[in-house]
Structure 1
Amino acid sequence: MAARGRIVKTFKFHGLSLQSESSRFLGDVLSTVNVKDIDEWLDRIIESIQNNIVLSSTSIGKDLVVNAVEECSEGSEEKSDNVFAVIDAFEVPRYEYNVDRKKYLRDTINDFHLHPTASCKAKFYQDRYMTIYQRTIRHELFAPPSVVTHPSQKTNKYELKPVEYLLGSTAILGKLIVLGMVTQIKEGKYYLEDPTGVVPVDLSKAKYHTGLFTENSFVLAEGVYEDGEFHVEALGCPPSEPSQVTRNYFGNINFFGGPSAVALKTSTKLRTIEEDNQEAMFVILSDVWLDLPKVMAKLRVLFNGYASVPPTLFIFCGNFISKPFGSKHSWKLRECFNDLSDLISEFPSLVESSRFVFVPGPQDPGPGNILPRPALPSCLTQRMKSKIPFTFFATNPCRIQYCSQEIVVFREDLVNKMCRTCIHLPKDLENIPSHLVKTIISQAHLAPLPHHVRPVYWNYDNALRIYPVPDLIILADKYHSYVQPTSLDCTCVNPGSFSKNEYSFKVYWPASREVEDSKIQD
């Protein structure tokens, strides 16, 4: 009876009521579960009911509970088996934040076109805004205080105001903080925009905090609204949060993607596999120009060195050819991959034990320079796949799930584009990687750039979002290599150009989550 009371109380907490036969069935099912795991199972069952079913009533019948239990049981079986997965950018699940229920709900529409109507452009900006907004108002600086018995106990320091609050006020307002997107509606004049309206801003006296502030990025602007203009005194990035905090609010939703129905972060079995396999390592290379004999010679040295201790994974990022070859570009690239497959075949231990992931670069063959980029065509990679069985030609960006870890790989010359479109360039240029990493994590997006600089398919903008924050972000860039740890249990890595930077690369050790600098000496 105590267990049934606990079940009914948990459902009531989520605004749902169980019919008597539903509570009896659920009580019988959870009677076989360890007492410590009952709360986790209840959260997953309720989450399944809310995400996958349009409820016409808050009263939950037995059929709904049975379906939810079956789905959660299938998810548990998947969690135990799914050790490695490469996730296509076009298959990343779509979740939309529901303001009324304060939860992320799965978008079940399957018919997404590459070239949709104009309303889809507005929608993905709204989705970006809501992701940042709901995270910001939960932050300790902006969250409303709990029960306050005395003014001295007030804990929140700031309160966000929408743009319509500024536009609709006739009184003199003091200092305000607004969360909005920096945009340039008229040339040479900046505005701050949110779903409620647009207000012109004066940035002439603004103090800029850490970050790279570009057009179409979301910012926290502090200032005074006078004479129909918002005079900004300070501009900063929205606060970010560790993935564990996000999951505490939204449960075990699988935002990341892959075959599992639930997130794998809490899988005890996968975490044990990850910790026990201390020798697992990922070798990360970018700008691997396969048409240069010198590069192929260095790759032979690399494979020979690792033949005795095969890495778990090789990640190769493009561009895979040093220069455009015009009409013969695809033919040349196919020959290069054939040569590479022959080279790898000389090392049977790597063929049997290692996986190879190839992420295309901006100059590699593809349908236009729009993100996400599809994988390289099979006509170029067929021989490689037949000779090296564990080969994955991925999209750009792509996602890799290894045990309980979430890894995002993105090949883009991001530093150059971000700095070129900044409304204010930081003075400490030696710390550009720090500014870049803070920006993309606070924006929860890999490329917070204007569309004329970095076009994105409107319906697949979610593939570039990084929320919750993954464990490792590989930002393969022609900029010099760096390793940028964060306070959010996330590490950002740029391996640099293998072909131009003296054949240097990075090695990632998943068990310890450490990154090593490596180089092939002459």
Structure 2
Amino acid sequence: MDSTPRHPDRFRTATADPIPSSSPAFGTPARPFRIPKGNAPPTKTSILPILLPPSTLRPVAFRTFTRKHNLTISSSALQTLAVFVGKNCGSGWREEGLAERVLDEVAKIWKRAGGGVIVEEGKGASLKTILQALEGSMSGGRVVVGKTASQDGSLKASMGVEDGRVETAGDTSKQGTAEEDDTQLSLHPRRWLKVVDAFDLPRLTYNVDKKYFEAVKSKPSLFPSPAYKTALFRDRYNLVYQRLLRNESFQSSLGVAGVPSLQRSSSNLAHRQSYKLTPIANLLGRSGTSHLLLGLLAISPTGDLSLVDLTGSVALDLSHARMIPEDGAWFAPGMIVLVDGIYEEEEMVKGAALGGNTGVGGAIGGQFVGISICGPPCERRDISLGTSNRHGSGQLSSSGGFGWVDFLGLGSERAQGARMRRIQEKCLRGDQDAPETTRLKVAIMSEVNLDNMKTLDALKKVFGTYNDLSLRERPQAFILIGNFAQKAIISGGGRAGSIEYKEYFDSLALVLSDFPALLQHSTFVFVPGDNDPWASAFSAGAASTVPRQPIPELFTSRVRRAFATANAELNRSQTAEPAGDAIWTSNPARLSWFGPVHDIAIFRDDISGRLRRSAVNTTLDNESDVTMDEPSNSAAGDAVSAAGEGQVEDMDQQQGTKAATASSGASMARRLVKTILDQGTISPFPLPLRPVLWDHASALQLYPLPTALVLADPEAAPFCMTYEGCHVMNPGRLLPEGGTHMARWVEYDVLRNRGKVREERC
């Protein structure tokens, strides 16, 4: 008898039926009925909260925030995260990896919300708000990805974060969205040209304890507390000090035991030596010993030269000192310098033993006899931002690390750099296949004295030179730098007044009206000088306070009308090009092209003359009977050997001059450039010599180094040179002295980061 069942399909319904029976008679497993996904309730898993100490969570937080996301977490933030993880992840925070996933999501949201490099409450984003939003999207100790994406917009709105300040560079999950948004942006290069006023720059100060920059929260004032005057020089010192400690010559090596010698080894294969700075207060009781000091040159109340740091001050004797390099820089009161020498205690001064005591203002007895003096070594921009790969085999350098700091208020290098470089490539390529079809050029003119009729003729010649070129060959921007009047305005004494000054710009408007094509397709930037209003109303042509306000609109209405008339004649409905514009900015000012990619600093000052008048003379007579070491054997010389004359990469001196004059001008330019960039500020002078607005002193900093610096000094010969990756240009006078009918200016190529001095006969 056949035992095969006659209805075999009846026994296969367990796998065929989409909703099988749970009856034991059919041997099918007990499973719940299937419900469509849209109506499925979320799975809830109960979590038993635990008490998680912050010290136990610290290794996981360090691995996630610091190593993975380049963030630093404060103690208070770690305590907050430990409570959150213990409450929402329970005992599975370590074994199941729940804590690491939660902390990774917190780090991503923190960076998307515009938080700084330090995860701390009140530092650009709210950690409590992030955790509250994240807690609602967690289930069973895990983060539901869909909910976090939907809450991202509401989270930014609740914290008041602007879209332009969102840090997205380190978040790879946002790259696709960023690329999609870039397709909707304007691809004309002038859309990405920003002129940043000195009063609009972020007011940053260096925090020594956290080793990071912080924004000053107080409202700026023209009459701040006297404490800001002291903070001005203290911040400068701290900035140079932290920069110096990252220099290779000041980093201790594990291969060198004990205190290194201050003498340079005769063999290049010897161990690299590291040099140690001595605080001035530690000189007490160490008479006759050699030390390397970093301090501020100052004039003591007795009229003697002294060296000051954060611990005290000491009298300085530079009569036997050598400059490193020889005639390589100026050293004047108000500058921070490295001095290598010997401390000599003073046994008795007016019957009192001062060798082991500090005097008034922290001054110690005795004097420091300098053997060599030099400026602090400069630091390249990519090293300061932590984006350098020059050291090592293709790996990023560990020094620096300020890439997350927004120095211009337009986005940091780490956050916006990669995106802006993609936008730059698209802008330059346009609709064609060949890249870089558009050139970014800037024409820079200085000492444009509008009260001189020859200046107007020179401007016509310059504008006519570019007006005949094609649209792609014309400069995208023209920078006109004062003084726009040869004498101070509104200073009395029969000199020019407000009516005459307005007539000067009315004459400029007539010249500009002859070149409507330039007004329609270029941006004109006007930077004032010391003779321009309103600062000249009370300075009478002397050095006014910096930064100083732009020229008031009262005098520039006719020029603005010329731009409006020229743009009205052009139909821009079929093009994405922005209208030509005239921008009056402060002195100093910054030009930013594509965010942090191109940073151009502009400063108008007679700085070379001020340096020559106030510099300390340290040159020794060849017949001096004083015995001393060779300059190349000093620690100060070794410490800045990398920042010497050999780092000037190129120089473009005007051709056709005599060889002696060109050599003298090149030497003067090198001294000027090295002095300013090594000091890290465009005003390294005492306040009586160059007044500074205390609340806006950070606008004068050159740290990190800009990609280019326009140092408009009419007393120096025009030059273009590169030092430590920063291209420095001085256009000189638009009309050279000597009565020659010549127009002189600088043409700067932004993409190549190179300038060229140009001349045309009027």
TM bucket, shorter chain:
0.7 to 0.9
Instruction: Please give the secondary structure, in 1, of the residue aligned with 2:282.
Output: helix
8 Å CA contact 1:212–1:439 kept in 2: the answer is: yes
Q: 1:182 pairs with 291, 294, 297, which one?
A: 297
Partner of 2:754: 514
> Structure 2 counterpart of 1:320, which letter?
F
Whole-angstrom distance in 2 between the partners of 1:52 and 1:250: 21
Partner of 2:697: 461
Whole-angstrom distance in 1 between the partners of 2:295 and 2:107: 46
Aligned ranges 1:76-91 → 2 under 5 Å:
83-91=192-200
> Structure 1 counterpart of 2:310, which letter?
P
* Larger relative strand fraction: 1
Whole-angstrom distance in 1 between the partners of 2:62 and 2:686: 53
Identify if the C-alpha distance between structure 1 residues 332 and 70 changes in structure 2 by more than 3 Å, giving closer, same or farther. Answer: closer
8 Å CA contact 1:140–1:156 kept in 2: the answer is: no
8 Å CA contact 1:43–1:251 kept in 2: the answer is: no
8 Å CA contact 1:242–1:469 kept in 2: the answer is: yes
Q: 2:497 pairs with 318, 322, 329, which one?
A: 329
8 Å CA contact 1:478–1:497 kept in 2: the answer is: yes
Normalising by structure 1, report the TM-score.
0.87
Partner of 1:375: 550
Partner of 2:482: 318
Partner of 2:246: 138
Instruction: Please give the secondary structure, in 2, of the residue aligned with 1:423.
Output: coil
> Structure 2 counterpart of 1:476, which letter?
A
> Structure 2 counterpart of 1:53, which letter?
K
Partner of 1:393: 584
Q: 1:114 pairs with 206, 222, 228, which one?
A: 222
Identify if the C-alpha distance between structure 1 residues 512 and 24 changes in structure 2 by more than 3 Å, giving closer, same or farther. Answer: same
Residue 7 (str. 1) matches residue 64 (str. 2): yes
How many pairs does the alignment contain? 509
Whole-angstrom distance in 1 between the partners of 2:257 and 2:369: 33
Whole-angstrom distance in 2 between the partners of 1:9 and 1:318: 48
Whole-angstrom distance in 1 between the partners of 2:416 and 2:276: 35
Instruction: Please give the secondary structure, in 1, of the residue aligned with 2:166.
Output: helix
Identify if the C-alpha distance between structure 1 residues 416 and 224 changes in structure 2 by more than 3 Å, giving closer, same or farther. Answer: same
CA RMSD in angstroms comes to: 3.6
Partner of 1:279: 439
8 Å CA contact 2:488–2:530 kept in 1: the answer is: no
> Structure 1 counterpart of 2:379, which letter?
E
Aligned ranges 1:127-166 → 2 under 5 Å:
127-145=235-253, 147-148=254-255, 155-166=272-283
Q: 2:744 pairs with 489, 504, 510, which one?
A: 504
Instruction: Please give the secondary structure, in 1, of the residue aligned with 2:670.
Output: helix
Aligned ranges 1:407-486 → 2 under 5 Å:
407-424=600-617, 430=665, 431-486=667-722
List gaps (5 residues or longer) in structure 1. Answer: 32-37
8 Å CA contact 1:503–1:520 kept in 2: the answer is: yes
Whole-angstrom distance in 2 between the partners of 1:51 and 1:387: 50
Identify if the C-alpha distance between structure 1 residues 57 and 345 changes in structure 2 by more than 3 Å, giving closer, same or farther. Answer: closer
Identify if the C-alpha distance between structure 1 residues 221 and 338 changes in structure 2 by more than 3 Å, giving closer, same or farther. Answer: same
8 Å CA contact 2:606–2:715 kept in 1: the answer is: yes
Partner of 2:312: 197
* Shift, 1:161, TM fit: 1.0
Whole-angstrom distance in 2 between the partners of 1:144 and 1:449: 32
Partner of 2:322: 207
Instruction: Please give the secondary structure, in 2, of the residue aligned with 1:214.
Output: coil
8 Å CA contact 2:713–2:732 kept in 1: the answer is: yes
8 Å CA contact 1:265–1:405 kept in 2: the answer is: no
Whole-angstrom distance in 2 between the partners of 1:490 and 1:417: 23
Partner of 1:53: 123
Whole-angstrom distance in 2 between the partners of 1:442 and 1:464: 14
> Structure 2 counterpart of 1:494, which letter?
N
Partner of 2:657: none
Report Cα offsets for 1:26-52 as digits up to 9, x if no partner: 646999xxxxxx9x9699855164595
8 Å CA contact 2:443–2:475 kept in 1: the answer is: yes
Query: Which piece of structure 1 moves more, 169-178 or 471-480?
Result: 169-178
Whole-angstrom distance in 1 between the partners of 2:755 and 2:256: 49
* Shift, 1:183, TM fit: 0.5
Whole-angstrom distance in 2 between the partners of 1:292 and 1:268: 43
Instruction: Please give the secondary structure, in 1, of the residue aligned with 2:206.
Output: strand
Instruction: Please give the secondary structure, in 2, of the residue aligned with 1:498.
Output: coil
Identify if the C-alpha distance between structure 1 residues 150 and 232 changes in structure 2 by more than 3 Å, giving closer, same or farther. Answer: closer
Whole-angstrom distance in 2 between the partners of 1:330 and 1:426: 47
Report Cα offsets for 1:305-345 as digits up to 9, x if no partner: 21133310100011112335646432122112122223212
Specify which structure has the bigger relative contact order, considering alpha-carbon pairs within 8 angstroms and separated by 6 or more residues.
1
Whole-angstrom distance in 2 between the partners of 1:285 and 1:351: 17
> Structure 2 counterpart of 1:178, which letter?
L
Whole-angstrom distance in 2 between the partners of 1:42 and 1:170: 55
8 Å CA contact 2:224–2:695 kept in 1: the answer is: yes
* Shift, 1:363, TM fit: 1.0
Bigger Rg over Cα: 2
Partner of 2:363: none
Identify if the C-alpha distance between structure 1 residues 474 and 347 changes in structure 2 by more than 3 Å, giving closer, same or farther. Answer: same
8 Å CA contact 1:25–1:62 kept in 2: the answer is: no
* Shift, 1:483, TM fit: 2.8
8 Å CA contact 2:448–2:455 kept in 1: the answer is: yes
Query: Which piece of structure 1 moves more, 287-296 or 219-228?
Result: 287-296
* Shift, 1:441, TM fit: 0.8
Whole-angstrom distance in 1 between the partners of 2:749 and 2:128: 47
Identify if the C-alpha distance between structure 1 residues 51 and 8 changes in structure 2 by more than 3 Å, giving closer, same or farther. Answer: closer
8 Å CA contact 1:95–1:107 kept in 2: the answer is: yes
Partner of 2:5: none
Instruction: Please give the secondary structure, in 2, of the residue aligned with 1:451.
Output: coil
Identify if the C-alpha distance between structure 1 residues 26 and 436 changes in structure 2 by more than 3 Å, giving closer, same or farther. Answer: same
Report Cα offsets for 1:496-518 as digits up to 9, x if no partner: 11123432111001121221121
Report Cα offsets for 1:272-318 as digits up to 9, x if no partner: 24682542210010111222222212212222221133310100011
Whole-angstrom distance in 1 between the partners of 2:129 and 2:617: 54
Query: Which piece of structure 1 moves more, 438-447 or 91-100?
Result: 91-100
Instruction: Please give the secondary structure, in 1, of the residue aligned with 2:592.
Output: strand
> Structure 2 counterpart of 1:362, which letter?
D
Whole-angstrom distance in 1 between the partners of 2:315 and 2:223: 31
Residue 218 (str. 1) matches residue 336 (str. 2): yes
Report Cα offsets for 1:57-78 as digits up to 9, x if no partner: 9999466996699668735579
* Shift, 1:108, TM fit: 2.0
* Shift, 1:250, TM fit: 3.1
Identify if the C-alpha distance between structure 1 residues 197 and 480 changes in structure 2 by more than 3 Å, giving closer, same or farther. Answer: closer
Identify if the C-alpha distance between structure 1 residues 245 and 324 changes in structure 2 by more than 3 Å, giving closer, same or farther. Answer: closer
> Structure 2 counterpart of 1:423, which letter?
V
Residue 233 (str. 1) matches residue 371 (str. 2): yes
* Shift, 1:365, TM fit: 1.3
8 Å CA contact 2:379–2:724 kept in 1: the answer is: yes
Partner of 1:345: 513
Query: Which piece of structure 1 moves more, 431-440 or 249-258?
Result: 249-258
8 Å CA contact 2:113–2:167 kept in 1: the answer is: no
> Structure 1 counterpart of 2:240, which letter?
I
Instruction: Please give the secondary structure, in 1, of the residue aligned with 2:460.
Output: helix
List gaps (5 residues or longer) in structure 2. Answer: 1-59, 89-98, 135-151, 169-177, 261-269, 346-365, 387-399, 429-434, 564-579, 621-662
Aligned ranges 1:8-47 → 2 under 5 Å:
8=65, 10=67, 14-15=72-73, 17=78, 18=81, 19-20=84-85, 24=101, 27=104, 47=117
Report Cα offsets for 1:195-217 as digits up to 9, x if no partner: 11111111111111221101010
Query: Which piece of structure 1 moves more, 262-271 or 469-478?
Result: 262-271
8 Å CA contact 1:44–1:251 kept in 2: the answer is: no
**Identical columns (%):** 27
